[in-house]
Structure 1
């Protein structure tokens, strides 16, 4: 689904990136200093196995927060896998418990969606949809609306990272032909991919986890968050237009541009029909993991596309990270999070939508959205209304990804693809638009759900 990215973390950190990484770590260090007495008591009175589990958990999430282990090639997926292995090694859980902790429904759903998206991309369906949308745009503002809507709607039903891989080169090609500044349109792609993916269970990986864990029906989930996503897309357009007034509010004549769409017609028809059938079955209440993996399997039955092309689109590292994090978090639940501790933490006003939104958003910007969802899982499950809490977590963890350039993989995909075409989207360039979009969408989302 996605590619291995040489992110700003790996290539050398900008000042903004250093601030984004260092600030949450400094906050954690400050809290540790304030509560050092309690922490010292806790450490001295805790069994060594529990201490080891906590140390492994903290180290794993630190690497995930930074992106890689400094001085090594250990990335997020490797850290999660290593953490899972060490949890079993120190006896925090058995191998049987570790395997049982991996949510296979989530893994199957993600794998199935990757295969579906790969076939849609290979067949040229995405390019055809985008070419149609752009053909109706006759001014810079309308082009922006078309880009944001196309990205947001596609991201709502398909994995947002894959949509960014498709949309970014198309937008670069389009803006070059129109002789427009590509940056605001690319910002629209990154922001809309995150906001649009809020709408459904299949929009992004964290929503997939929430959907399988919470058992919330697909239609109920979409009914709760689709309005938030739609308003969020409107907010993106408004803020980008204001931030780039000279691009959008100046009268200009635009040449008519048509994107060429090279389509593998038989595969496009097959992939489109199966995708539509899959979405209908989702809304009819069929198990999303089962439907996705069956549709993915049916798409592999072809004479036209080599399986290796589809396999190359599957993000194995993401699947490994998911499996490892399931084990790491389950080990902490086994050794540290007693029912009493879970109940005490959950009593800190987490039933309040605004509080839970804030906690989730901050946590998502410290350790990333998928790990944040797994951390809050045991606390959400004991709240008075778990379904509403899960919807809130889905909204906040996804929208929080727009706060900084490093907030989501979707953002990094757009930035890296842009850089490959000599288009710079720096940390502060993104932050100037991403921060107000995040604050506005989170505020609306919390208000709407409260």
Structure 2
């Protein structure tokens, strides 16, 4: 038992820091190594380890990643980013359009894939127009995080929650969509106030270079036919989610299969953009969490939490727990920690909304609160733009606080 607890602590310590100190072991590596050590040490049998993995969540996530990747390979994300950037409006109008577009795309597609594809293009467009890219990239980041809470396909943690609580697509939207979308104008107001008088650049910074070549990547050429095909598949998948009770995993995998079989688009290109690291991380955390649960320690911890007024079946308590926990270990690991203990809740939709809104709204408080934030910060670094922890928090912290306060009122409304 002590060995299992030690491995569990080390794994989630790596989740919190992003790596294991002293080693070049990132979050995914830590989860996988922790799972393998526990299996090899006999703390959990191979059969029990396989049984611990929720194949429905993995299958759903993989299928939707392929659907989203199809838009990336077809050049759709780049075309949208370029179209938004070319609109002849002032900085405040451009910010509003960017927030709306990124919010809609994040809600209907995987927010992380959208961020990977569109962040470099938005950054380049801002520099070309001699605009300060920080308010626009922060608006994009916050909007992607907030709006992704609107649907169960908006982010990996939503899919995990929906599977654990057996929520329908419509049920999830009914519980979480309104506050997620209302958060978008809040983002615009806060950023406009924070960056008044700082919209333009006097000097365009030089990009960081690797060797003799700049790190900036050229835009993906737009393929109209493949974009139409991906759009049809996406609409059919979402329609089946809404109007049928078929298993979400099977619908997503069927859609992915249609896209992978193509005469024009190589399957390797699609699979290259699937976030395999995230899938492997989830595999590892399923095993690590199951091993700890088998020790009985988690039940004692849950009892202790109830004694201090924190019940994981209570939506309001869960909103507070996820707000704090997701900024310590990350959104997906945080949801993975609580997922085994939320089944059988009396108010599953309200509980799902609390988890989705807590993880999404709090993720803009600190720069490493979400993968989207990390992607934006890295792209700024490559372009020679300084996005410090303090700069991120100036706009992100008040935005998160306002929207979390709104989430408290919404969850109270759902539960009364």
Taking structure 1 as the reference length, the TM-score comes to 0.82
Q: Do the aligned partners of 1:134 and 1:143 also contact (CA within 8 Å) in 2?
A: yes
Taking the aligned partners of 2:136 and 2:62, their CA distance within structure 1 comes to: 30
1:270 alignment counterpart: 229
How big is the shift at 1:355?
A: 2.9
- Structure 2 unaligned spans of 5+: 201-218
1:319 alignment counterpart: 279
Q: Do the aligned partners of 1:140 and 1:247 also contact (CA within 8 Å) in 2?
A: no
How big is the shift at 1:137?
A: 5.2
SS at match of 1:305: coil
SS at match of 1:216: coil
State the aligned residue count: 391
Which digits, 9 at most, give the CA deviation of each residue in 1:342-400, with x for residues without a partner? 45534624355443211111111111111111222244335543442232112102222
How big is the shift at 1:152?
A: 0.8
SS at match of 1:129: helix
SS at match of 1:407: coil
Confirm or deny that 1:239 pairs with 2:178: no
Q: How does 1:139-178 map to 2 (within 5 A)?
A: 139-178=90-129
Q: Do the aligned partners of 1:403 and 1:431 also contact (CA within 8 Å) in 2?
A: yes
Q: Which moved more, 1:389-398 or 1:339-348?
A: 339-348
Taking the aligned partners of 2:229 and 2:5, their CA distance within structure 1 comes to: 49
How big is the shift at 1:187?
A: 0.6
How big is the shift at 1:261?
A: 8.6
Taking the aligned partners of 1:338 and 1:402, their CA distance within structure 2 comes to: 29
1:97 alignment counterpart: 48
Name which of 185, 190, 195 aligns with 2:141: 190
SS at match of 2:24: coil
SS at match of 2:262: coil
Q: Do the aligned partners of 2:165 and 2:344 also contact (CA within 8 Å) in 1?
A: no
Confirm or deny that 1:106 pairs with 2:57: yes
1:118 alignment counterpart: 69
1:406 alignment counterpart: 368
1:299 alignment counterpart: 259
1:47 alignment counterpart: none
Name which of 201, 211, 217 aligns with 2:162: 211
1:375 alignment counterpart: 337
How big is the shift at 1:87?
A: 2.1
How big is the shift at 1:132?
A: 4.3
Q: Which moved more, 1:391-400 or 1:379-388?
A: 379-388
Taking the aligned partners of 2:86 and 2:52, their CA distance within structure 1 comes to: 49
How big is the shift at 1:295?
A: 0.8
Taking structure 2 as the reference length, the TM-score comes to 0.89
SS at match of 2:368: helix
SS at match of 2:403: helix
Q: Which moved more, 1:183-192 or 1:391-400?
A: 391-400
Which digits, 9 at most, give the CA deviation of each residue in 1:386-420, with x for residues without a partner? 44223211210222211100111110111111221
Q: Which moved more, 1:225-234 or 1:352-361?
A: 352-361
Q: Do the aligned partners of 2:115 and 2:375 also contact (CA within 8 Å) in 1?
A: yes
Q: Do the aligned partners of 2:165 and 2:342 also contact (CA within 8 Å) in 1?
A: no
Q: Do the aligned partners of 1:241 and 1:248 also contact (CA within 8 Å) in 2?
A: no
SS at match of 1:406: coil
1:431 alignment counterpart: 393
Confirm or deny that 1:310 pairs with 2:261: no
How big is the shift at 1:127?
A: 2.9
How big is the shift at 1:194?
A: 0.6
Which digits, 9 at most, give the CA deviation of each residue in 1:313-349, with x for residues without a partner? 1221111100000111111111124656545534624
SS at match of 1:245: coil
Q: 1:432 to 1:312 in 2, by over 3 A?
A: same
User: What RMSD over aligned residues (CA atoms) do the two structures have, in Å?
Assistant: 2.1
Q: Do the aligned partners of 2:230 and 2:259 also contact (CA within 8 Å) in 1?
A: yes
How big is the shift at 1:178?
A: 2.3
2:238 alignment counterpart: 279
